[in-house]
Structures are given as C-alpha cells and as structure tokens.
Amino acid sequence: NHPTLAYLENTPSSKQFLEEAKTVMPGGVTANIKHFDPHPIIMKHGKGSIVTDVDNNKYIDYLMSYGSLVTGHGHETIKQAINAQMVEDGTWLFGTPHHLEVEFGKRLQNYFPSLERLRYTNSGTEATLLALRLAAAYTGKHKVAKFEGHYHGGYDQMLVSVNPPVDLAGEEHAPNALPESKGMHESHVENTLILPFNDLNACEDLLRAHRNEIGAVMMEPVQGGIIPADVAFMRGLRKVTRELGIILIFDEVKTGFRLGLGGAQTRFDITPDLTTLGKAIGGGFPIGVVGGRKDIMMNSAPSSGADVFDSSQSKYFSAKDVLFHSGTYNGQPMILAAGMAVINILEKEINSVMEKTNRLKEGINHIFDYYGVEGGTVGIGSIFSVTLTNKEKISNYRDLQQTDLATRKEIDFRLLQKGIYTKPMNRFSVSTSHTDEDVDETLIAFDQVFQEVFE
Ligand code: PLP
C-alpha cells in the first residue's frame, strides 16, 4: 500500500464500478484518456468547482473536463440559457438554419477577427479535420505539417508523433513521424511532416524542402495549452508559410477563451489563415468551429453547385468542385445558446479567472522555492501544468519529457487523497467557479504534499 496510492482506500465504489463497466466497454472506459491505473475515480455530481465521486468524496476539480468547463459545473446562467432556448423554440434540433448560428458566429468574430467566415462542427476533432480539407482544396497540396507533441484530434492523419517515445523520435531538428495507434495505415505517417516546435530555422528548412507537397501547417499556438510558441517563432512561421503558399492553421481548441477573451492569435497579434475552436467556447457541450480567410472558407459554400441532382442515377451527389461539409448536429441551437452564455459570463469574469490562476501559480512556485525543489508551474492563461526540472525554460515536447514525471505523478496521487482533483499527470484548468477559498485550500494541500514528499 504505497502512500502514493492511498486514494484507493477511499474509492472502493469507483473500483467496483470499473469492473462492471468492463463488461460493457473495453477497459471500462469510452475514451482511453479517461483511464488511469490502478483505477480512475468515477464522478457522479458537480457543482461550481466541486465534484463528488461515487464514494461521496468531494474534490476541487482542476480537470474541468480537459479545460472545457471554463465556467465550472452546473452554472446557473448556462442552465437558464439552455432552458430558455428549449422553451422559446420548443425543440432542440431543427436541421434547418437557425438564428443563433449567426448571432453566436458574430460574437466569435468579435473576439477572433480572423474568422471572416466560419462553420460549426460537433467537436475539435471535426474542426481540425475540416480545416485540413479546406487547406487542401485551396492549395491542391495534400500533405500536412504538424509539430511533435501537438494534438489535434484522434484521426489518422493527425495522430502522428503526438506522444512519441523519445528514443524513437529521431533528430531534434527533423523529428521522425511515428504513428500513435494500432490500425493506422502507413500512408498517413508518410503524408504528415513532423516539425520541431519553437525552432524556426529547422522548420523553415523542412518547409522549404517540402514546399510543393505541404498544403498546411497546423499548430497549437500554446502546446497542450501550456507551452507557448515564442512570438518571434510564430511571426517567422507566419512569414515563411505565406511565402511558400502554405496555409497556416492555428488550432485554438484549447486556447480559445483560455488566454483571455479571444485566443493566442489575439494575445500575440498573429493572424493565421484558418483557426479551429472547441472546448471552452461551448462551456462543456460538444462543439467545434473552423473559420478564417473568406477566400479559403468559401470553398465550402454550396452556391458553386453542391447537391446536384444526377438524373441518370436518380440520386443527389455533391459536385466534385465543392468541398463537402455536413453534420446532423452542426450548430445545435441549445449548444449555441450555451456558448452565448459562456461569452456573457466571461465578459464579466475573465479577469478574475486570470487573477485566481496567477495567485495559484505564484503560490505553487513559492512552495517549490520553499522546499528547494527545482521546477514550478508552466503555462499562460487559465491552464497550467506543474513540472519538476532544472531547465530554465520548457520550449517543446522533448523538454517536457525530460522533466521528473515520476515525482509529478506521486504529487498528483497525494493531491487526490487531499481532495484536489486533476487526472494524474494532467494540466490544471481554472474556471470562473473557482473561489479564493479553493485557491487557498489547494495551496495548503500542495504544501502538505511537498512536506510529505520532500522533507
Ligand atoms: N485540438 C486540440 C488542441 C485539442 O486539445 C483537442 C482535444 O483535446 C482537440 C483538437 C480535439 O478536440 P475534441 O476532443 O473536441 O475532438
């Protein structure tokens, strides 16, 4: 019974539930990310910043569903917005255009001026997938470049070198492309060029060498929501992609509304060609957005001949010159109503989220100093991580891999035991619902854990 795993004593029902769940779903989970060993904690209730598990343990939640719950659990304003939408229109899905598609879109355009036109999807994954198709349609080039350690969704083309074993990852300046899943065809690995994050010279060399095949560079402007691209790096990449006729896509699924209202592009004043959004903009409901330059986005407009009736086959087909984009639930009215409510809340409270995050980060950094432990918090905006390292600056995936991951895990398990929840080894996401008292309690728990581990 290692002290690190003391949470096991308090979570027998979670363990039991997982056994039952295994009879329904492989491994008992419906997304592998929900699992951790020896067993995940099964939650049953959430309100504000607090979640309660099936054993009635309460935790201050910093997982916040991987950053999506920027307003916390069960926010009354969001509940009211969804209720009002249901009552007003009397249904939750039309399958026709709906006024909120325009109203929410305009509010997004206000904070992301680069979204000259946009489309809705049901998830971040679908948004990045559509962005790649838009880029390929525009440039006629089908290979894409992405960065080592960056995640854009769980489909084959982007599921390359997201979390590669460092010993197989190759040269730092020209990383290998490695598949992340069984069942992927090698063509996806061949069609995806891996770039080193925050290394402009190396990126420029690789992009120039592949300029005739690469249609798009997709990047998380803040890797994993925690490692920002240097501004000079982003500016350089913007310049070289423009010169080479490569579409620059900022995947802001994680950073949207997490660095303030707007995203990394707003904060750093860089204009990508295309942007993808998701997570926080839906306040916990499934949504994705892809938008950007009008001339690129207009490829998806139906006016150029979509849904042509083919009388010889008695069926409709999409003409080849039209970019296919569809989805039964795209622009689901209740989700857009929730998104509008998220913006209303953040317009009033975003500063206080940032202040609370900063106080938490400063407190944790102070605890590192006090106990003489090398490392501290890494991150900008309302998401951060905790790393143990003597490196001055963490700039990319490989830097992160060199940190002391084992001790970080031990800290996380001990925090669980003290009622601070984030999935072990994950990030901390702060929401409008976290209180000053939550921050105080969390710092007390960190202090106790550091005392246990380092004294
Ligand atoms: N892009 C980024 C940067 C993400 O962090 C994620 C999810 O973690 C995605 C895309 C995929 O979004 P979703 O899980 O909504 O499909």
Task: Name beta bridge partners: 386.
Answer: 377
Q: What percent of the chain has pLDDT over 70?
A: 95
Question: Rounded to an integer, what distance in angstroms lies between the CA atom of residue 370 and that of residue 223?
Answer: 29
pLDDT in tens, 283-329: 999 999 999 999 999 888 875 444 544 455 554 445 556 788 999 99
> Rounded to the nearest 5°, which phi and psi values hold at 306?
-70, 165
Instruction: Tell me what pLDDT residue 304 has.
Output: 45
CATH 3.40.640.10 residue window(s) in the chain? 99-330
Binding pocket residue ranges, ligand 1, CB within 6 Å: 66, 123-125, 128, 151-153, 220, 251, 253-254, 278
How sure is the predictor about 429, in pLDDT bands with cuts at 50, 70 and 90?
Answer: very high
Mean per-residue pLDDT for 259-277? Answer: 97
Task: Name the CATH topology of 99-330.
Answer: Aspartate Aminotransferase; domain 2 (3.40.640)
pLDDT, tens only, 50-64: 999 999 999 999 999
pLDDT level of residue 4 (50, 70, 90 thresholds) = confident
Mean pLDDT across the chain: 94
Residues with Cβ within 8 Å of 230's Cβ and at least 6 positions away in sequence, in order, are 198, 395
Q: Whose alpha carbon is nearest atom 5 of ligand 1?
A: 254
d(C-alpha 71, C-alpha 77), whole Å: 10
Residue 251: active-site member:
yes
Domain with CATH 3.90.1150.10 in the chain: 3-74+350-454
Strands (E), 48-122: 50-53, 58-61, 117-121
Paired with 160 in beta bridges are: 179
Substitution candidate for ligand 1 out of 152, 226, 274, 287 with most atoms within 8 A of CB: 152
| Cβ contact 139:246 at 8 Å | yes
Position 319 scores a pLDDT of 55
Ligand 1 atom with least separation from CA of 255: 3
Q: CB–CB of 238/394 below 8 Å?
A: no
Residue 428 parent element (H or E): strand 428-429
Topology annotation, domain 3-74+350-454: Aspartate Aminotransferase, domain 1 (3.90.1150)
Q: Per residue in 149-191, pLDDT tens?
A: 999 999 999 999 999 999 999 999 999 999 999 999 999 899 9
Has residue 71 got a pLDDT over 90? yes
Q: Mark whether 89 is an active-site residue.
A: no
144 neighbors 192 (Cβ within 8 angstroms): yes
Q: How far is the CA of 69 from the centre of ligand 1 (A)?
A: 14
Beta bridge partners of 117: 292
The pLDDT value given to residue 6 = 83
Mind listing the pLDDT tens digit for each residue in 357-403?
Answer: 999 999 999 999 999 999 999 999 999 999 999 999 999 999 999 99
How many other β-carbons are positioned within 10 Å of the β-carbon of residue 68?
Answer: 23
Q: Which residue has the tokens 């940190």?
A: 403
Q: Distance, CA 152 to ligand 1 centroid (Å)?
A: 5
Tokens of 191: 């069609």
Is the CB of residue 251 less than 8 Å from the CB of residue 264? no
Q: Out of 151, 199, 361, 399, which one is annotated catalytic?
A: 151
